[in-house]
Amino acid sequence: MKIYIDGAFYAEADAKISVFDHGLLYGDGVFEGIRFYNGRVFKLEEHLDRLWDSGRAIALTMPLSKEKMTEALLETIRQNELRDGYVRLLVTRGIGNLGLSPDRCKRASVIIIAANIALYPEELYRNGLDVVTCATRRVSPAALSPAIKSLNYLNNILAKIEANQAGAGEGLMLNEQGHVAECTGDNIFVLKRGHLITPPISAGGLRGITREVVFQIAGEFGIKVTEPEMTRYDIYTADECFLTGTAAEIIPVVKLDQRPIGDGKPGPVTARFIARFRELTQATGTPIYP
């Protein structure tokens, strides 16, 4: 594996950063997870737009233009001779001192990793996930905007630990008001009487790019989507449920807190969304190879 760090490629064993990098010391930085399929990067422009927005929100100046960042990302995939996989693109605050202030960090650092990924085994896409509600609440948007995809994921990790300990595939996170925010790494949708529902971003969820693709697909299918405040009741009583995320793609949920959702099996509408999403990923995107 070859990894990009600030303009050069390194073998995995030689890919290193300074212990004084504030991304390591304080989680001070932003990132994107990006998928590529069949020799094309899916929704690359949207991912870079979100990365730039995250950087702007934390007053982090990107060290590369979008054009140069695009070329660095594509070249990282080429260097690893991949056609399908996952890119982790990180921009850290860079090297500073042990103080908290980012003013001592002279230049941000870019790290790009391209590799294969399978977040969930294929049988879970056929049979569905079990999800549990986590006691760990989603950080308030008043404290840290969920729109910022930062390097500090400790809030999500603590919830993921709870889900793992419960033997569940994912964990549902609520906000301080008890409304559904998102799962530990994915947005959530439910279908009720032919109507698709997902929590508003203001509840504490990420502005998911796959989430936006689902809105697009719903428009193609003539399915209405709304974003009301949701509680667990809306999931318990749903006809179907699925999660969305770059790594997870679209995956069915069949249980929440041991309560079957619908008939306890992935639903037919979810299957249509999965099929259409896979069509889009195979046929659209930024070409990697000339």
C-alpha dihedral sign at 199, 184, 267, 261: negative
Q: Which residue has the tokens 């948007």?
A: 141
Query: How many alpha carbons fall within 13 Å on the CB side of residue 282?
Result: 6
Q: What would you report as the CA-atom Rg of the chain, rounded to the nearest whole angstrom?
A: 19
Asked if 173 and 138 count as a contact pair (C-beta separation under 8 A), the reply is yes
Q: Which amino acid is at 117?
A: I
Q: Which run of H or of E encompasses 273?
A: helix 268-283
CA-nearest of 63, 50, 53 to 92 is 63
Would you state the structure tokens that stand for residue 197, as one six-digit string?
């529902």
Catalytic residues: 149
Furthest CA-CA distance within the chain: 57
CA-nearest of 132, 8, 121 to 16 is 8
Report the alpha-carbon distance of residue 29 to residue 54 in Å, rounded.
Answer: 9
DSSP for 158-190, written as a single string: HHHHHHHHTT-SEEEEE-TTS-EEEESSSEEEE
Report the alpha-carbon distance of residue 238 to residue 231 in Å, rounded.
Answer: 11
